[in-house]
Amino acid sequence: MPQHFDTLAIHAGQPNDPETGSITFPIYQTSTFAQDAPGETKGYCYARTENPNREALERLLGALEGAKHGRCFASGLAAANACIMLLKAGDHVVASKDIYGGAYRAFSKVFSNFGMEFTFVDPVDLTAMAAAFKPNTTMLWLETPSNPKLAITDIAAACAIAKKHGALTVCDNTFATPYLQRPLDLGVDIVLHSTTKYLNGHGDVISGALLTNNDELAQRLHFLQNTLGGVPGPQDCFLIMRGIKTLSLRMDRHCENARAVAEFLAAHPKVETVYFPGLTTHVNHDVAKKQMRDFGGMVSAELKCSVADAKAFASRTKLFTLAESLGVVKSLLCHPASMTHASVEPEVRRKHGLSDGLIRLSVGIEHKDDIIDDLRVALEQVPS
Ligand SMILES: *Cc1c(COP(=O)(O)O)cnc(C)c1O
């Protein structure tokens, strides 16, 4: 099997069907599997424990991330929650403060009730990150590029800090995808994906995944997957596998379009700040260049206007749909303070540097001139 990413995306985990010759991996829409004698299975017993579509997707994602083991979940958050379930009461987690709002909500509102402790730190300031470690710190939680400000954490350097303290590092790789960044190669123990986003790419599935090279962790995650039960259905796994076949083509276009949008916004008089790791003005542009193949399809910006006018702008675009989520072929935009990060308390948002005027763009793969025209027209109506 050739090892290039584009080839693996189409072949890994999905041989032609030996029974029928079907070139597409069939959907095994079943809840259970016949046994030849009690306990004598053909490899599958019950579809929560394992089903062929999930297994195929797990192999495919493993091949793309350079991981020996993959585990798929019903959502990115179900995957995140399984990761936290590796811990026990009394454990402390150091997490980046600029993370997915739903992960912050799960950490601060649910898991903190079970005796786990979370400290949120600046994802860029590694000295502060190192200082947050305590004797009971057992996990470092990274998300890079981060959500929504596209901060970049130096993955290898952060992993070195965690290793020194004997803590595991989890890295949410949703924004980059394995095409742009492979955190396991940089020392991360577990990679997390919301496969809902770029991996599926077509905006029609909710699902998540964890990848690791650690045999013991993989076994524990499989146990948790089966025991907690947040598993994806076979149709969803099938759709994600279909989406992944075009991942590299889509990502190349997302990256090209996002760069054009970032450059357009950076030069626009009504735009205050643009957050895009591909701009040389980005705080960690050099780190992004070192650890990523390209800079991704997400761009965030602060407009030079009131919060009300920023929200009006977000409601005015025609090509960009005002919607939560990201990483789909269609351009989407959101106002994090009232949408994806509404579950983060206003004072915590301020403390974490997330302003109420920030707009987040998930730049799609439409023609870039149309994308930029849409933004230009919507910006014209922003009062200056
Ligand atoms: C969407 C998202 C999640 C959560 O995934 P779901 O599939 O919505 O549960 C986690 N991390 C990041 C970076 C995300 O964008």
Which tokens in the block code for residue 162? Answer: 């965690």
Closest CA to 27 of 47, 43, 42: 47
- CB 173 near ligand 1, within 6 Å: no
Q: Whose CA is nearest to atom 8 of ligand 1?
A: 76
CATH fold label, 247-380: Aspartate Aminotransferase, domain 1 (3.90.1150)
- CB 197 near ligand 1, within 6 Å: yes
Domain boundaries, the chain: 5-244, 247-380
Residue range 30-40, pLDDT digits in tens? 999 999 999 99
CB half-sphere exposure, 276, CA atoms < 13 A: 32
CA gap 289, 285 in Å, rounded: 6
pLDDT in tens, the chain (384 residues): 458 999 999 999 999 999 999 999 999 999 999 999 999 999 999 999 999 999 999 999 999 999 999 999 999 999 999 999 999 999 999 999 989 999 999 999 999 999 999 999 999 999 999 999 999 999 999 999 998 999 999 999 999 999 999 999 999 999 999 999 999 999 999 999 999 999 999 999 999 999 999 999 999 999 999 999 999 999 999 999 999 999 999 999 999 999 999 999 999 999 999 999 999 999 999 999 999 999 999 999 999 999 899 999 999 999 999 999 999 999 999 998 888 788 888 888 877 778 888 999 999 999 999 999 999 999 999 998
What does each C-alpha distance from 261 to 300, 362, 373 come to in angstroms? Answer: 10, 10, 10
Which tokens in the block code for residue 239? Answer: 């759709």
- Ligand 1 atom showing the smallest separation from residue 99 Cα: 13
- Ligand 1 atom showing the smallest separation from residue 143 Cα: 13
Q: How far is the CA of 49 from the centre of ligand 1 (A)?
A: 23
- CB 76 near ligand 1, within 6 Å: yes
pTM as predicted:
0.96
What does each C-alpha distance from 305 to 170, 316, 321, 356 come to in angstroms? Answer: 37, 15, 21, 11
Spatial contact of 178 and 291, defined as CB atoms under 8 Å apart: no
Q: Which positions are annotated as active-site residues?
A: 48, 100, 172, 197
- Tell me whether domains 5-244 and 247-380 share a fold: no
Residue 238, phi then psi, degrees to nearest 5: -60, -45
In CATH terms, 5-244 corresponds, of 3.40.50.970, 2.40.50.100, 3.40.109.10, 3.40.640.10, to 3.40.640.10
Runs of H (alpha helix) within 100-246: 101-105, 126-131, 155-164, 177-180, 215-228, 234-244
